[in-house]
Amino acid sequence: MGWFWGSSNNDDPVKKIDPGLREYLENEAPKKYIPAPQRPEPVKEEAQPVSFDQNDSSTPSVPSASLFPDGRYAHLWKTYKPPVDAADDPLGSIESTQSLTQGVQSMNERRKQRRDTVGNAALENCAIEREEMFRCFEKSTFMERFKARATMGHEENKRFTRCYATQAKFLQALGYASSPVWDEEREERIQMHADKLYHEMLDYERRVQEAELAGQDPPPLTSLFNPSSQVTKHIESGSKTVEIPGGEPVPANFHPSKPWHKLTPHERELEIRGHYAELQSEAAFVQATAPFVKSQDEAREKRRAKAVSWFGETIGKWIT
């Protein structure tokens, strides 16, 4: 240990050490410990409430985009930028895309709302069938209750399911909730007319069954939508020839929900009428969204012209 902290006389053996070895020993020697100076404890001060007096010149100005009029988080709102910034989007592609997306989304929500409205109207028209389905186990006689429990209300459930599905198709075929402007009186008339046509269809089926049991010819087939029409269209379905009242032309490449021969005559007519009503609804949707698509095409052409003027035709068309 004397080598490092010994006296500095000429007889010191440390001086006779090789310079390279001496440098190595000095570098490997432990450093002298120097305690760190103590930091003074901060003086505790009572927090003073921040005043936002408008007369005070030190009050931070409230940015226009701030949601807090009292000036809270003003330093954060100063750096706020709206979602679409013209400086970050010089070609305007983000703004036009958002406009188109919002317009189409609004139309899709309107279509979904129409389907929900049609479903609710069909439930109202099938209120009796729905009540019978829920109370199928509460029959008046023992045999009726036993049959309902044995079949788990199959007949009542089947009757309600058919009522709901058919009433919804009648409502769609008659244009229920298809107008962009809701007219309470008009929609109520359509709802009542759909219920009337459904029960006329059931009445015709009942009379056909009674005629078959009596060995008589079935009653004449008439159109529900156009009773004055005496035209009946015949088409081939498998190995059978089926009738479609009203003479409505069958759309090309149209496939009904079931094979034609498994549908009643009025259900066939309803399938065709509902298909044409759906085509009209699709056309109305395309017509309603046409302005948004047109505006996007125009905005794209403007962006392309601007990009071509900046970067040339090849790069300008590629980035737009």
List, in order, residues 6 or more apart from 263 with CB less than 8 Å away: 242, 256, 271
Q: HEC string of 12-42?
A: CHHHHCCHHHHHHHHHHCCCCCCCCCCCCCC
In the chain, domain spans: 107-249+256-293
Residue 125 near residue 195 (C-beta atoms within 8 A): yes
Site of tokens 């409430």: 49
Residue 172's identity, in one-letter code, is Q
Cβ atoms of 198 and 160 within 8 Å: the answer is: no
SS3 232: strand
Answering whether pTM is above 0.85, one says no
Please give the structure tokens belonging to residue 311: 């970067």
Distances (CA, A) of 118 to 5, 92, 115, 162, 176: 101, 40, 5, 15, 7
pLDDT tens-digit readout, 76-135? 766 766 655 444 455 455 554 555 566 556 666 777 787 889 999 999 999 999 988 887
pLDDT digits (tens, 9 = 90+) for 30-55: 666 666 666 555 555 444 444 444 44
- pLDDT tens digits, one per residue of 299-320: 777 777 777 777 777 776 676 6
Q: Where are the alpha helices (DSSP H) in 126-234?
A: 127-134, 142-151, 154-173, 184-213
More confident residue, 2 or 196: 196
